[in-house]
Amino acid sequence: MKRISHYLSLIKFSHTVFALPFALVGFTLAIKSSYMPEVTTALVATKLSLVVLCMVFARSAAMAFNRYLDRKFDAMNPRTAKREIPAGIISPQKALTFTIANCVLFVACTWFINILCFYLSFVALFVILFYSYTKRITSLCHLVLGLGLSLAPLGAFLAVTGIFNLLPILFSVVVLTWVSGFDIIYALQDEEFDKSQDLHSIPAALGTKYALLVSTLLHIVTGSLVLFIGWYGGFNFIYWVGATAFIGLLTYQHLLVKPTDLSKVGIAFANTNGFASILFALFTIVSKFI
């Protein structure tokens, strides 16, 4: 059990709360869409199980690979020096093996979903694994992370229907801008370290003040898209309650973090965004059944 807890800590399993709720939104949109006039309990159970497994395996692969690739930087950074690989709890070789195993399991699950998801699984793996290299080459690394997580709602929709549709794509763009925005806030903690190691990030490139401005602008786009989706998708009042709460929590995290006070970055990053994701997804899903 202790070894399992070490791997769960390595991949920050609790952070699954960011993307998984949106995958469930995409799944709900699919089973309630006109593309699926007849939905059986067996179909829902099978597809949902495969979607959740894909989310777990893909995210585990991405996080483990990120920890493997960044192990030398993590060892030098006081904030991350106690992570499992630099602390010697998990060896780099075992982390890489864990990554490969999760990649194989992810692709295998997509094979049992449909042929489109199987082919697209290699594109998805490229995106989520490539993110780990981006801090070495571009300050837009936050957008690449957002792109990786944004595959959740669209991927879940495709898993059920095998068809592209604008509504899940819009939810994916919401995830892209939302995650990119809060990842910039998270990166504020390493601004000076990134500069010293020639690593790229929005905070390292623009400084704290303007990085927070970019994050704010991204979240304004997020909130605007959430409102547009409510109108475009013809959602009922339950969705609007969730949308209001989500936008309110986006606003709240920007009130928590100021250029002169970064002490609440952890609360803004994990607690606020995790709660916002669950709440918004819950109200969105319920709205489709009432």
Domains and CATH numbers, the chain: 2-287 (1.10.357.140)
pTM: 0.95
Banded model confidence at residue 14, pLDDT cuts 50, 70, 90 = confident
Query: With contact defined as beta carbons under 8 Å apart, do 63 and 72 qualify?
Result: no
pLDDT in tens, 130-143: 999 999 999 999 99
How many residues in the chain? 290
Banded model confidence at residue 127, pLDDT cuts 50, 70, 90 = very high
Query: With contact defined as beta carbons under 8 Å apart, do 144 and 171 qualify?
Result: no
User: Above 80 in pLDDT, residue 62?
Assistant: yes
User: Above 90 in pLDDT, residue 13?
Assistant: no
Instruction: For the beta carbon of residue 53, count every other beta carbon within 10 angstroms.
Output: 17
User: Above 90 in pLDDT, residue 2?
Assistant: no
Q: What is the mean pLDDT of the chain?
A: 95
Closest-CA residue to 54 (of 115, 14, 110): 110
Residue written as token pair 């010697």: 88
Three-state secondary structure call for residue 66: helix
Please state the separation of Cα 73 from the chain's center in Å: 22
**Sequence-ordered strand ranges (E) for 214-285:** none
- HSE at residue 249, side-chain half, CA atoms within 13 A, is 21
**Confidence (pLDDT) at 269:** 81
Banded model confidence at residue 197, pLDDT cuts 50, 70, 90 = very high
**Confidence (pLDDT) at 94:** 96
Can you tell me the distance from the alpha carbon of 228 to that of 18, in angstroms, rounded to the nearest whole number? 21
Question: Which has more pLDDT, 259 or 15?
Answer: 259
- Give me 77's structure tokens: 């950074």
Closest-CA residue to 222 (of 185, 274, 171, 187): 171
